[in-house]
Amino acid sequence: MTKRDVFQKKALQLIHQKGFKAMTMRDLATEMSCDIKNLYNYTKSKNALLENLLQEISEAFHQGMDKVLNANLTPTQQIEELIRLHVTLSFEKPLNVGLLSNESRNLSEPYLGKFNKQRQAYEDKVESIISAGIKNGEFRKLQTAIVTQSILGSLRWLYNYYYQNDKLNPFDTIEELKKMILPGLQREL
């Protein structure tokens, strides 16, 4: 693990414990047993730290979603892969994922606007899957915006649940979520 990795790990832990607003660079320096000036080798400011951490996890979600959309999959299979993506990232990087739900509101402009556009673009990608499934008759006729937010809301809590219950199995979690989400979408035959 590089010093930069340690810096990010400690920062994420402190943000998770205290919240971004309450965490100070002095807290982080104390946690890392270094002079506060040394932290600025890793980031130019506390806000830049949050921006970089959020950008990294946002990119991971977008890259995963782009793979799902570019694969030759049915809408049902795409929803299954969406679930797998969220579970995998939540289990591998729970504190990073937690930033998306809990700390993005602390971004300052112009990054907040950019971040909100990225979030909307991701939601639009999910909604496009729902729309395609409705159009081809695979899914019931539902309001795509409501379904999109319901699915994403069902997946957003995972990071915290896993962080507190690290004995959970991601494979079982994926299967449970598929059993919960897919029947609500699929057309009755």
Same domain? 105 vs 177: yes
Same domain? 164 vs 141: yes
pTM, full prediction: 0.91
Same domain? 11 vs 95: no
Same domain? 57 vs 150: yes
Same domain? 87 vs 132: yes
Q: How many domains, in total, are found in the chain?
A: 2
Which structural domain range is residue 39 located in? 1-43
CATH number of the structural domain spanning residue 109:
1.10.357.10
What local confidence, expressed as pLDDT, does residue 83 receive?
A: 97
What local confidence, expressed as pLDDT, does residue 188 receive?
A: 67
Choose among 102, 68, 72, 69: nearest CA to 85.
Answer: 68
Same domain? 2 vs 78: no
Same domain? 167 vs 114: yes
Same domain? 101 vs 125: yes
Same domain? 57 vs 118: yes
* Phi/psi at 186 (5° precision): -70, 140
Same domain? 176 vs 120: yes
146-162 burial, b at 16+ Cβ within 10 Å, e below that, comes to ebbebbbeebbebbbeb
What local confidence, expressed as pLDDT, does residue 157 receive?
A: 80
What local confidence, expressed as pLDDT, does residue 128 receive?
A: 97
Q: Identify the segments of the chain with pLDDT beneath 50.
A: none
What local confidence, expressed as pLDDT, does residue 189 receive?
A: 54
Same domain? 62 vs 79: yes
Same domain? 6 vs 86: no
What local confidence, expressed as pLDDT, does residue 163 receive?
A: 62
